[in-house]
Structure 1
Amino acid sequence: MTACADPGGSVGAFLCQAGQVLRAAGVEGPRQEARMLLAHAMACREEDLLRDPRVLVPQPAVTAFASLLRRRAAREPMAHLLGRAGFWTLTLETSPVTLVPRGDSEAVVEAALSAFDASGRIGRVLDLGTGTGALLLAVLAECPEATGVGIDLNPAAAALAARNAATNGLAGRAAFLCGDWAEAIAGRFDLVLSNPPYIETAAVPLLMPEVARFEPALALDGGSDGLDAYRRLTRVLPMLLTPGGRAVLEIGQGQRPSVEALARAAGLKPVSARQDLGGIDRALVLRAD
């Protein structure tokens, strides 16, 4: 570990030392993450830390920061440590009972909004496996006339999503239920969203430590070929969608042809796919005719 120039108890010294710890642990962007953790421990903004690196860190914040740093060096997700994550235009409460909302999943929101640009407004929305409620709430935030229902197998996740709806001013247009996919649902929807588990079982332990060690396996493991959830979803989607309605499913790398084949076999028409920032097909749009 190299020496840090700032005095031992200063903001600058803590950031320097923490950056070294996180770098050694294999964390990407260690200095930025160190700033995020210290700002959280000191209940201030990151820019406040940069104003004068010589400021001494109060002892309560030192204790809190040390705990946060140990957990992040063990590769616990930053969203678990902060208790929140940004998604689309929203700030969402996070928890180990759900997946951490990711930027790649914003492709699902983009695809959903684009799918209705020329075909009319979005009325009723269903989000299957809602987790934090990220997909549903992002769409509702963009569509003031829409209402929606989110379903999750885990009651703690459904409760978390309901809190996120409330804190983002969307509680009046969103309801969250505990259920096994669509078994608790009657009626039809203009738009169905889902980010189902799609990782092959054998590949789950090989994911980055933040995911493999700390995120719920139930939300990751898609069976031996990663397609188990899509088999169930494509069977029920024709009964859930209004005529001309759309389903937008998040998919894994290389899964588009297989999921499209399952959709066609169920009487659904693949319409388009949206790529994530890495250029990977990430959101598949299906239509009910």
Structure 2
Amino acid sequence: MSLTVAELLAQANLPDSESPVLDAELLLCHVLGKGRSYLRTWPEAQPSAEQVERFLVLLARRRTGEPVAYLLGERGFWSLDLQVSPATLIPRADTERLVELGLELGPRGVAQVLDLGTGTGAIALALAAERGDWQLTGSDRVPDAVALAQSNAERLRLSNTRFLLSNWFSALQGQCFDLILSNPPYIAADDPHLAQGDVRFEPRSALVSGADGLDDIRLLVAAAPDHLKQGGWFLLEHGWQQSAAVQALLVERGFVDVDSWTDLAGHPRVTGGCWRG
């Protein structure tokens, strides 16, 4: 006898998930091609045998810890639905703070804006969606990430974007921007969190940055002034215990108005400064 939607969800077992009910619902919706309201409206519906099998396979993969975003191939960020893949970090709500600050501190009117280490293109695409007169450049050193970001831009019809293969600033010589943002790797190599949760499946090169997690941030702070217009802001996401260190790097490099801003949990998450030459 075929199982109903309600029975499939009742039998879904995800003991190690922080949100087992939500995870199971999202996976079943993905298989059925329906929204979550369908599960409540039609609990007696009977998925096909093929759909049940696909759902059970996804549940099994989730039990191993594989992130739901990778299983679905998508993740919501800002107001956008983005395609994701194991080639990139999964966009997270904390990074929306970086977008908010970019909108707040960036120039009014026409502007050139750079998102370093763009991954899925989340930051660049969110800004492009909000500021039609900004031209967004997203760079990444991973070819698959650049291709994914470009695909997201095309699917979302955000034509004020471009995505380049670049190891930080390597392909951007001689180019200057009104605003530069980055969510770079900032986790220390021996951080125990690397063996926990979703990050076990995310690309290590996008997470880890030396013994103290600041190697890439040091490189970016040193190079950013060569690519900023006078009065341009440079904003960095970082770990919640790194704000003082990042502030010190920016001040030492000559940035002014250096400050840090908190995330949704009240932790310092973004630090930035203004370059006045």
Q: Same fold (TM over 0.5)?
A: yes
- Secondary structure of the residue that 1:67 maps to in structure 2? helix
Partners of 1:256 and 1:207 lie apart in 2 by 24
Aligned to 2:42: 52
Give aligned pairs, total. Answer: 275
Per-residue deviation at 1:125? 0.6
Aligned to 1:165: 153
- Secondary structure of the residue that 2:136 maps to in structure 1? strand
Aligned to 1:88: 78
Aligned to 2:115: 127
Unaligned stretches of 5+ residues in structure 2: none
1:106 aligns with 2:93: no
Aligned to 1:3: none
Percent identity over the alignment? Answer: 40
CA root-mean-square deviation: 1.4
Q: Deviations over 1:129-149 (max 9, x none)?
A: 110011111111111100021
- Secondary structure of the residue that 1:125 maps to in structure 2? strand
Q: Deviations over 1:24-58 (max 9, x none)?
A: 2x101211211111111111111111113222221
Quick one: which amino acid aligns to residue 104 of structure 2?
Answer: S
Partners of 2:139 and 2:194 lie apart in 1 by 28
Aligned to 1:17: 11
Q: Give the conservation status (yes or no) of the 8 Å contact 2:247–2:258.
A: no
Give the structure-1-normalised TM-score. Answer: 0.91
Decide which of 221, 240, 264 is 1:253's aligned counterpart: 240
Unaligned stretches of 5+ residues in structure 1: 1-6
Aligned to 1:4: none
Aligned to 1:32: 22
Give the structure-2-normalised TM-score. Answer: 0.95
Aligned to 1:239: 226
Decide which of 61, 75, 96 is 2:65's aligned counterpart: 75
Q: Give the conservation status (yes or no) of the 8 Å contact 1:222–1:229.
A: yes
Q: Give the conservation status (yes or no) of the 8 Å contact 1:127–1:150.
A: yes
1:147 aligns with 2:135: yes
Partners of 1:92 and 1:268 lie apart in 2 by 33
Partners of 1:69 and 1:270 lie apart in 2 by 49
Partners of 1:120 and 1:36 lie apart in 2 by 39
Change in Cα spacing, 1:122 to 1:252, as seen in structure 2 (3 Å) is farther
Quick one: which amino acid aligns to residue 7 of structure 2?
Answer: A
Q: Give the conservation status (yes or no) of the 8 Å contact 1:130–1:194.
A: yes
Partners of 1:168 and 1:266 lie apart in 2 by 38
Per-residue deviation at 1:205? 5.3
Aligned to 1:176: 163
